[in-house]
Structure 1
Amino acid sequence: MKAAVLKSFGSPLAIETVPDPVPGTGEVIVDVVATRVLSYANEVFSGARKYALDLPVIPGPGGIGRVRAIGPDATRLAVGDWVFCDPTVRARDDVISPDITLQAWSARDEGGLRLQKHFRHGSFAEQMMVPTENVKRLGTITSEQATQWCALGTLLVPYGGFLAARLQPGETVLVSGATGNFGSAAVSVALAMGAACVVAPGRNDRILADLVRRFGDRVKPVKLTGNENDDRESMKRAASGPIDCVFDIMPPSVGTTVVRAAIMAVRPYGRVVLMGGVGMAGGAGLDLPYPWIMRNCITIHGVWMYPPDAAGRLIALVRAGLLRLEEYEATAFDLDHANDAVAHAAANAGPFKLTVLRP
């Protein structure tokens, strides 16, 4: 099969013919029809993000495709099924605290790296091998629709955060990082889950106005000034009531001041979800006052990805019409132009934009 291979950090992807994957028990082979190219893929491939990734590797976390072959322990899947390949792979020998790897992308620790050595290759290829439990049926779609369904991979990240925070219909949410790719996805997911109001702070007036245009007056935009106290008060005023949940998805390049301003806007007994990258690129870590957390009974959830059943539930939200994949504008590349796709993704990293490979 044809695949794009990362042989060393800092080198372009090599388009090569490699052996087809062979399934064993607990594994499924999927013909990849479409897979998203993350906006920061160039930072991973250059080594700038210092992700734990065992090279050489066929990269690509997750994708949309059709089942080619199943193992003997699959009882519901059938050859030809349209599926989403969930990249969050968990070891099967510890259900309480499993080692985790993001297939062909990164590992959390040494255990995750060991897991990565088996489920190592990803979706930048004509076929990929996936754990059986990571193959989620989509129902009937067309090959053209597969491109749009790649948005699932982006939407699942904030969905996992809101599940951890037990977001309830009618609550008020603040999305810190709302004008980014994952942050704008968080706005749409929160609304689909029944949030009455989503406070959306940011510096880009055009993107803030676009969020209101897309989703209506349940979105409350806030123009950030950089003054921590003033920005916090502006967020509270925009909410017109207590903020039940703050979701942070700010990237590593952002300083701690703007993140803390948003987090500390949450109400007493409120919940905070941390899914961003503050501190990952070095520099100061997030400093939150111990007395404020304790006296206000604040719950802080650190969340990496989402639970195993999240993809099925998110697919159901899409099928019910509560979450619109049509919000996403997709640009597709074939596998021979994988390096062009990586460059395009970096240059077009805005809200509701998808760069997709179609092997």
Structure 2
Amino acid sequence: MKAAVLNAFGSPLAIETLPDPLLGTGEVIVDVMASRVLAYANEVLGGQRKYMLELPVVPGPGAIGRVRATGPDATRLRPGDWVYCDPTVRSRDNALSPDIALQGLTAGSEGGLHLQRYFHNGAWAEQMRVPTENAVPIGAIDEKDAIRWCALGTLLVPFGGFLAAQLQAGEIALVNGATGSFGSAAVAVALGMGAQCVVATGRNEQALAELTGRFGARVRTVPMRGHEAEDRANILQAAPGPIDCVLDILPPAANAVQARTAIMAVRPYGRVALMGGVGMLGGAGLDLPYPWMMRNCITVQGQWMYPPHATVLMTGLIRAGLVNLDHFEITAFGLDRANEAVAHAAAHSGPFKMTVIQPR
């Protein structure tokens, strides 16, 4: 099979011919039709993010594809089925605290690195091997729509945060960092889940205005100026009522004060999900007042990625028209142009912009 291979951090991807992946028990071989390119893929491949990723490797977290073959333990999947290849691979030998690796991207721990050594190569190839549970059926689609369904990989991340924070229909949600690709997707997801209103914060006022234009009056935007008390007051003023749920999805360049500004706008008994990159580049930690958390019964939860059943639920929201894939502006590249795709994704990031590689 043909694949894009990273042989050294900072070097261009090499288009090589590799052996087809071999099928084992508990595994599925998928013909990859499309895989999204993260906006920061260039930083991962260049080594700046220092992700736990052993080389050489075929990058590419997540894909839309068709089942080629299944192992003997598969009871429902059939060759030809359309599936989302979930990159969130969990170890199977510790149900309480499974190690996690993002196939084709990073390992979260030493245990995750051990897992990555087996489920090693990602989706920028004509075929890939995934655990059976990671080939999630999405139902029949037209082949030309495979690139649109790559948006699952973007939508599922904030969806995991809202599931962790138990967002309920009719509640008011706050998305802190709503102007990036994951943050803007979080706004769409919260609305699709039935939020009464979404308060969207960010520094890019043009991107905030576009969110209002795209989704209407259910979105209230708040430009963040960097003054904690003033910014929080503006958040509370914009919300039509007490804020039930906060999703913080700020990028690594943001600081802890930006996160705290939004977190402390949540109502008593409110819930907070932390999914962003605050602190990954150093700096002060998240300083939340103990008395405020205790006396107001605040729940703060960290959430990496999403639970295994999230893809099934998100597929249902898309099928029902509650989350619309047409929001995404897509630029597609063939596998031979994988390096161009990585550069394009970095230069054209932002709300509802998606770069995709089509190996076939």
Instruction: Tell me the TM-score range normalised by the shorter chain.
Output: over 0.9
What is aligned with 2:107? Answer: 107
Equivalent-residue separation in structure 1 for 2:87 and 2:50 (angstroms): 19
Secondary structure, in 3 states, of the residue corresponding to 2:24?
A: coil
For residues 67 and 87 of structure 2, the distance between their equivalents in structure 1, rounded to whole angstroms, comes to 16
Equivalent pairs counted in the alignment come to: 359
- Superposition map of 1:269-284 within 5 A: 269-284=269-284
CA contact (8 A) 1:34 1:356 kept: yes
Q: Describe the SS at the equivalent of 1:244.
A: strand
Query: Following the alignment from structure 1 to structure 2, what is the Cα–Cα distance between the partners of residues 3 and 281?
Result: 32
**Can you list the C-alpha shifts for 1:160-206, whole angstroms capped at 9, x where unaligned?**
01111111111000100001110000000000001001001122222
Give yes or no for the alignment of 1:191 onto 2:191.
Answer: yes
SS of alignment partner, residue 308 of structure 1: coil
| Counterparts of 2:89 and 2:30, CA distance in 1 | 15
Deviation at 1:207, TM superposition (A): 1.2
Partners of 1:122 and 1:146 in 2: CA distance: 17
In structure 1, distance between residues paired with 2:201 and 2:100: 32
Q: What SS is found at the alignment partner of 2:243?
A: coil
- 1:322 is paired with a residue of what secondary structure? coil
SS in 1 for 2:128: strand
User: Counterpart in 1 of 2:243?
Assistant: 243
Residue 144 of structure 1: SS of its match in structure 2?
Answer: helix
Give the gaps of 5 or more residues in structure 1: none
Shift of 1:54: 1.1
Deviations 1:132-172 (A, max 9, x none): 00011111111210000000000000000111111111100
Secondary structure of the 2:235 match is: helix
**1:180 counterpart = 2:180:** yes
Superposition deviation, residue 240 in structure 1? 2.3
For residues 354 and 223 of structure 1, the distance between their equivalents in structure 2, rounded to whole angstroms, comes to 24
The gaps in structure 2 that reach 5 residues or longer are: none
CA distance in 2, matches of 1:287, 1:214: 35
**1:241 CA displacement:** 1.2
- Report SS of the residue matched to 2:266: coil
2:278 partner amino acid: V
How do 1:319-334 and structure 2 match up within 5 A?
319-334=319-334
Shift of 1:308: 0.7
**1:298 positional shift:** 0.7
SS in 2 for 1:267: strand
Is residue 55 of structure 2 the alignment partner of residue 30 of structure 1? no
* CA distance in 2: counterparts of 1:316 and 1:152, whole angstroms: 11
Give the fraction of aligned pairs with identical amino acids, expressed as a percent.
67
- Which residue of the partner structure matches residue 125 of structure 1? 125
- Give the distance between the partners of 2:70 and 2:196, measured in 1 at CA: 43
Task: Quote the offset at 1:255 in angstroms.
Answer: 1.6
Matched, 1:148 2:148: yes
TM-score, scaled relative to structure 1: 0.99
Q: Secondary structure at the match of 1:297?
A: coil
SS at match of 1:123: coil
3-state secondary structure, aligned to 1:318: helix
Aligned to 2:358: 358
Q: Is the 8 A contact 1:82 1:139 kept in 2?
A: yes
Find the aligned partners of 2:162 and 2:203 in 1 and give their Cα distance: 24
Rounded Cα–Cα distance in structure 2 between residues aligned with 1:178 and 1:254: 13
Deviates more, 1:200-209 or 1:102-111: 200-209
Map residues 330-341 of structure 1 onto 2, 5 A cutoff. 330-341=330-341
After alignment, is 286-295 or 79-88 more displaced? 286-295
* Structure 1 counterpart of 2:157: 157
Structure 1 counterpart of 2:99, which letter?
D
The separation in 1 between residues aligned to 2:125 and 2:96, in whole angstroms, is 33
Match of 1:295 in 2: 295
Match of 2:94 in 1: 94
CA contact (8 A) 1:49 1:281 kept: no
Q: Which amino acid aligns with 1:99?
A: D
Match of 1:286, as an amino acid?
L
SS at match of 2:173: strand
- Separation in 2 of the partners of 1:300 and 1:68? 42
SS state at 2:8 partner = coil
- The one-letter amino acid of 1:252's match is P
Residues 10 and 47 in structure 1, CA contact (< 8 A), matched pair in contact too:
yes
